[in-house]
């Protein structure tokens, strides 16, 4: 099939590449000319495991093309995906300007029946707004070209995006048109071979499904962080509690890890957007507000532990950070807990030596050159001259460190484990003080 994708970010580029990989002819279009030029050269602007070789191979075979020419791209596609950003507006609502710009561009160009598929995360009612924007442009040029708008929210996870796209748990399709459904079923058939993964529903339910999924996951994290904070107060170890509750199949082991708070481009903005939408419809989303409030406090938790240990002023202290990305296997720093911590540490006068396997360039882009930030290219180099180590992101490479080496390098011999990746007893046996999240009596 001939497919067009608007937006070459995490969602658009991964989707376009995976659709090309199974034999479709895909054109990816972006307004960012620099991004398109890099992709044309075979450079992938984001870090996503397994993506670069797939992009290169499919670009070389001619199945995957990149352009800034929106009109030519629309001309190409039988199916046109919208996968542009929907960042939060100041009031927390989803900013739909990019989505509606694409819709208007489609309306100005469309010359034959096309299925327009919205993959961006958007509030309920956006498909109607997209349909109206396309129709308005068509009427302005007295065109009667037919089109359908489908909601097909994306559930890929950064860090596993390629695998999620090639082997999705489910493919949610919200559509009113039987023809559009048939076309999408055919498009997704290669990813839907072993058992039925397509979940068909109406458009508004599909739009809400995406927010419900992210809000549920954010709720699990905040719930577990709240239990961790209670565990700390009452002298229990949340890691034992986690295993105890996870063994109940109604609860399960997934996504109940306490930590330094959730971040990234999706959970924070999507919880806020759902809250906003609820209020706009005269419903007070008490649970969602609590999820957000717990998370905001949790992002400040590591700093509170550091200050409890070292005292209020950290002037003259050097703190080593392992992990800057909002989660492992990505270079994405959007709303990362590390950013809250960095800013708190700097405000208290500390110098930070940090190591992240992928996010150093993004950190440099965000914060520029500053005296109190030293980005190291090796994990133990971050410890040189440091008073303490803080684990902020649970990259695999951090899980089993050489504790003797940590003992030799750290001046104050203390570890703040923001992801509970170490066994407190092992750390303490190596002569290091240990602080985790919610590890009450075991510390």
Q: Which residues are catalytic?
A: 266
Q: Which stretch binds ligand NAD (CB under 6 A): 7-15, 305-313, 319-327, 367-375?
A: 7-15
Q: Are 383 and 406 in contact (CB under 8 A)?
A: yes
The torsion region of residue 42 among left (phi > 0), alpha (psi -120 to 50) and beta comes to left
**127 contacts ligand NAD (rule: CB under 6 A):** no
With CB under 6 A as the rule, give the number of residues binding ligand NAD. Answer: 26
Distance from C-alpha of 424 to C-alpha of 441, rounded to nearest angstrom? 10
Distance from C-alpha of 144 to C-alpha of 249, rounded to nearest angstrom? 53
**29 contacts ligand NAD (rule: CB under 6 A):** yes
> Which H or E run includes 103?
helix 97-109
Could you tell me the smallest distance in angstroms from the CB atom of residue 340 to ligand NAD?
20
**393 contacts ligand NAD (rule: CB under 6 A):** no
Half-sphere exposure of 160 (CA within 13 A, CB side): 9
Distance from C-alpha of 265 to C-alpha of 236, rounded to nearest angstrom? 33
> Which DSSP string corresponds to 68-83?
S-HHHHHHH-SEEEE-
Q: Which tokens hold the place of 299?
A: 């992002």
**How does DSSP classify residue 42?**
T
Which of 32, 160, 176, 372 touches ligand NAD (CB under 6 A)?
32
Which of 137, 158, 239, 356 touches ligand NAD (CB under 6 A)?
158
Could you tell me the smallest distance in angstroms from the CB atom of residue 108 to ligand NAD?
12
Residues recorded for the chain = 443
Instruction: State the sign of the Cα–Cα–Cα–Cα dihedral 252, 258, 263, 269.
Output: positive
* C-beta closer to ligand NAD: residue 9 or 49: 9
Q: Which stretch binds ligand NAD (CB under 6 A): 31-39, 56-64, 286-294, 346-354?
A: 31-39
* C-beta closer to ligand NAD: residue 31 or 278: 31
**137 contacts ligand NAD (rule: CB under 6 A):** no
Burial 125-138 (b: 16+ CB within 10 A, else e): ebbebbbebbeebb
**6 contacts ligand NAD (rule: CB under 6 A):** yes
**154 contacts ligand NAD (rule: CB under 6 A):** yes
- Burial, 370: exposed, middle or buried (Cβ in 10 Å; 0-12, 13-18, 19+)? exposed
Which of 3, 16, 21, 35 touches ligand NAD (CB under 6 A)?
35
Could you tell me the smallest distance in angstroms from the CB atom of residue 181 to ligand NAD?
21
**31 contacts ligand NAD (rule: CB under 6 A):** yes
- Burial, 408: exposed, middle or buried (Cβ in 10 Å; 0-12, 13-18, 19+)? exposed
Q: Which tokens hold the place of 440?
A: 């009450």
Q: Which of residues 83-122 bind ligand NAD (CB under 6 A)?
A: 83-86, 98, 101-102, 120-121
* C-beta closer to ligand NAD: residue 103 or 314: 103
* C-beta closer to ligand NAD: residue 98 or 220: 98
Q: Which of residues 305-364 bind ligand NAD (CB under 6 A)?
A: none
Q: Which stretch binds ligand NAD (CB under 6 A): 8-16, 222-230, 293-301, 302-310?
A: 8-16
Which residues of the shown chain bind ligand NAD in the complex (CB under 6 A)?
6-12, 29-32, 35, 83-86, 98, 101-102, 120-121, 154, 156, 158, 265-266
């Amino acid at each position: 099939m001939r497919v067009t994708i608007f937006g070459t970010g995490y969602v658009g580029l991964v989707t376009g590449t995976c659709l090309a990989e199974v034999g479709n002819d895909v054109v990816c279009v972006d307004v960012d000319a620099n991004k398109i030029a890099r992709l044309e050269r075979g450079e992938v602007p984001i870090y996503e495991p397994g993506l670069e070789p797939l992009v290169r191979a499919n670009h070389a075979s001619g199945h995957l093309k990149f352009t800034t020419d929106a009109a030519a791209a629309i001309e190409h596609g039988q199916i046109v995906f919208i996968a542009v950003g929907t960042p939060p507006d100041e009031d927390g609502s989803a900013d739909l300007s990019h989505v509606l710009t694409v819709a208007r561009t489609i309306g100005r160009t469309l010359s034959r029946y096309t299925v327009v598929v919205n993959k961006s995360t958007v509030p309920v009612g956006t498909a109607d707004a997209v349909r109206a924007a396309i129709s308005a442009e068509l009427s302005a040029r007295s065109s009667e070209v037919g089109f359908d708008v489908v909601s097909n929210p994306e559930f890929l996870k950064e860090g596993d995006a390629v695998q999620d796209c090639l082997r999705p748990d489910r493919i949610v399709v919200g559509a009113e048109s039987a023809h559009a459904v048939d076309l999408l079923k055919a498009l997704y058939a290669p990813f839907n071979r072993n058992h039925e993964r397509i979940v068909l529903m109406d458009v508004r339910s599909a739009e809400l499904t995406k927010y419900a999924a992210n809000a549920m996951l954010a709720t699990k994290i905040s719930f577990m962080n709240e239990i961790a904070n209670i565990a700390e107060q009452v002298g229990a170890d949340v890691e034992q509690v986690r295993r105890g509750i996870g063994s109940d199949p109604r609860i399960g082991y997934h996504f109940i890890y306490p930590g330094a708070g959730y971040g990234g481009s999706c959970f924070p903005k999507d919880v806020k957007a759902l809250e906003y939408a609820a209020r706009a419809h005269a419903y007070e989303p008490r649970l969602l507000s609590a999820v957000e409030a717990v998370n905001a406090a949790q992002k400040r938790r590591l700093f509170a532990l550091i200050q409890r240990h070292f005292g209020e002023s950290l002037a003259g202290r050097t703190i080593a950070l392992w992990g800057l990305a909002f989660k492992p296997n990505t270079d994405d720093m959007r709303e990362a807990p590390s950013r809250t911590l960095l800013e708190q540490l700097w405000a208290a006068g500390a110098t930070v030596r940090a190591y992240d396997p992928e996010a150093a360039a993004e950190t440099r882009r965000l914060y520029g050159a500053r005296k109190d930030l030293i980005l190291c290219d090796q994990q133990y180099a971050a410890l040189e001259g440091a008073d303490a180590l803080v684990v902020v992101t649970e990259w695999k490479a951090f899980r089993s460190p050489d504790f003797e080496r940590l003992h030799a390098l750290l001046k104050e011999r203390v570890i703040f484990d923001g992801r509970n990746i170490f066994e407190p007893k092992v750390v303490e046996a190596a002569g290091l003080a240990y602080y985790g999240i919610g590890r009450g009596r075991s510390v």
